[in-house]
A = this chain, B = another copy of it.
Amino acid sequence: MSSTSARRLNASNINPHVREAKYAVRGELAVKSEEYRAKIAKGDTADLPFSQVVSANIGNPQQLDQKPITFFRQVLSLLENPQLLDHEDVLLGSLDYKPDVIEKARWLLSKAGSVGAYSASNGVPAIRQSIADFLERRDGFPASESDIYLSAGASSGVNTLLHIICANEKTGILVPIPQYPLYTASLSVLNATCVPYYLDEHKNWGTDLSAIKKACAEAKASGVDVRAIVIINPGNPTGASLSESDIRDIIEFAREERLVLMADEVYQTNVFIGEFVSFKKVLRTLQKESPGKYDGMELASLHSVSKGMVGECGHRGGYFELVGFDQAVQAEIYKFVSITLCAPVIGQCLVELMVNPPREGDPSYALYKKEYDGIFEGLKERAYALWRAFEKMEGVECGEPQGSMYLFPTIKVPAKAAEAARAEGRTPDEFYSMRLLEATGVCVVPGSGFGQKEGSLHFRTTFLAPGTEWVGSIVKFHEEFMNKYK
């Protein structure tokens, strides 16, 4: 047989649904920013107009300035090396570990065994029980460990849930726009139908029930089997917290349309304005108020160690709780997660620490509280500093910071900039963001990566980076950009 010089796989014959998926958070700009970072690391900065890369494209607190919480990491160090527990005197003495650190580590080792062993597919039973207890305290309603599934970050939980819900290409899932692109990308890969509903920028990016109803009705009219609605609360990229009354409206709508509720609540502690109310709490309240009326409603809510003041993205810890799901469906979910065995066990232990941190009176409480509050205040300060800078910029409009880790300003660029963008085959927001990166080393994500209303332009930036220099560099770039294309 003659030699085969052509490869079997090429970009046009691989899985078309993977090819169609878009994920801008780590797209072209992020790749370019990493190239700059590598260049700088080599000391090769002669032709760069900046001396550092600021990765404002991704909510990755510990890549920037955020320090891990000491209590968490002390416990994890003991889980990784339990031999240290043979030296309690050293731990408590020169290493300044507190007794509750040791106690917690011993408890986790007694429940999880070695962190190098697979756990049950849905997670360590004792940790699932701790999460259920946490949810009961948070919401004032019962929760059961058998409804909790530990996952490798919330992303993996979303992947599981969408795999179960999406039966074929007619399955429709209502997804907010703008949204974190995990949802649209996962639906592309699954070849299911994303049914976008627009959030209302003029109401601080709150939900607009009439827009949701319209999107749902149109999809149904075109033959889509709309089965679920995704809500990201607090919002990503918007930071908006929904009020209890907004949540009631959404649940009522979901009841009428028989939709599964998927509540992505990973930013539940990143709230500056308003307060976080869980979908579970509101659903259970409605069920109590109107017995029977909300029976059979299904809710999946997701949480993670990656965000909030924990900020432990790299550990890939998270969980979801199922409310009202059929047992036979839960059995299929269990089987599905079994195929990849279990979530990282050390990440599961971090979930335990997140839901059961030191309490008042515990030896580690004072330091924990100081660190936790310090991170919260630091994020808030940075958010406001960035917002005030945006306020001063011509053609930029941005709502007051509300929460999450992001600002999502609207930008208006001159017509000449839009033309120049077209000439490059980019959208104007992509063009703007690319020029920003090239000029300042600041990497943001163009609004088109999250979805935005036709004709509007945005970008998403985290407010995690320390200092004000990078903010100043954005202001300066923006002025020059606007002047150049005026």
Can you show 10 pairs from A to B with CB atoms below 8 A apart? A3-B293, A7-B329, A11-B332, A26-B335, A115-B315, A119-B314, A159-B340, A313-B341, A316-B343, A344-B344
Instruction: Say yes or no for A19: interface residue by CB 8 A criterion.
Output: yes
Q: Across the interface, do A58 and B18 meet the contact criterion of CB distance under 8 Å?
A: no
- From the candidates B23, B165, B259, B347, name the one contacting A335 in the complex (CB within 8 A): B23
Q: Across the interface, do A63 and B1 meet the contact criterion of CB distance under 8 Å?
A: no
Q: Across the interface, do A326 and B10 meet the contact criterion of CB distance under 8 Å?
A: yes
Number of copies of this protein chain within its complex: 2
Please report which residues of chain A, range 358-380, place their CB below 8 angstroms from some CB of chain B when the two chains form the complex: none
Please report which residues of chain A, range 134-172, place their CB below 8 angstroms from some CB of chain B when the two chains form the complex: 152-153, 155-156, 159, 163-168
Q: Across the interface, do B118 and A298 meet the contact criterion of CB distance under 8 Å?
A: no
> How far in angstroms is the closest Cβ of chain B from A291?
10
Q: Across the interface, do A338 and B84 meet the contact criterion of CB distance under 8 Å?
A: no
1/0 per residue A3-14: CB within 8 Å of B? 111111111011
Q: Across the interface, do A114 and B332 meet the contact criterion of CB distance under 8 Å?
A: no
Q: Across the interface, do A314 and B114 meet the contact criterion of CB distance under 8 Å?
A: yes
User: With the chains together, A23 CA to B228 CA distance in Å?
Assistant: 27
**Additional pairs, 19, CB under 8 Å, beyond known A8-B298, A70-B83:** A4-B255, A10-B329, A11-B329, A14-B164, A14-B332, A15-B165, A26-B121, A58-B118, A62-B116, A63-B117, A73-B81, A76-B80, A77-B84, A115-B315, A116-B311, A117-B314, A182-B339, A316-B344, A346-B346
Q: Across the interface, do B116 and A313 meet the contact criterion of CB distance under 8 Å?
A: yes
Instruction: Say yes or no for A325: interface residue by CB 8 A criterion.
Output: yes
Give the interface of A toward B (CB within 8 A).
1, 3-11, 13-16, 18-19, 21, 23, 25-27, 34, 38, 58, 60-63, 68, 70, 73-74, 76-84, 87, 90, 94-95, 113-121, 125, 152-153, 155-156, 159, 163-168, 182, 185-186, 189, 227-228, 255-256, 258-260, 292-298, 311-316, 324-326, 328-329, 331-332, 335-336, 338-347
Residues of B within 8 A of A26 (CB): 121, 335, 338, 341
Residues of B within 8 A of A113 (CB): 62-63
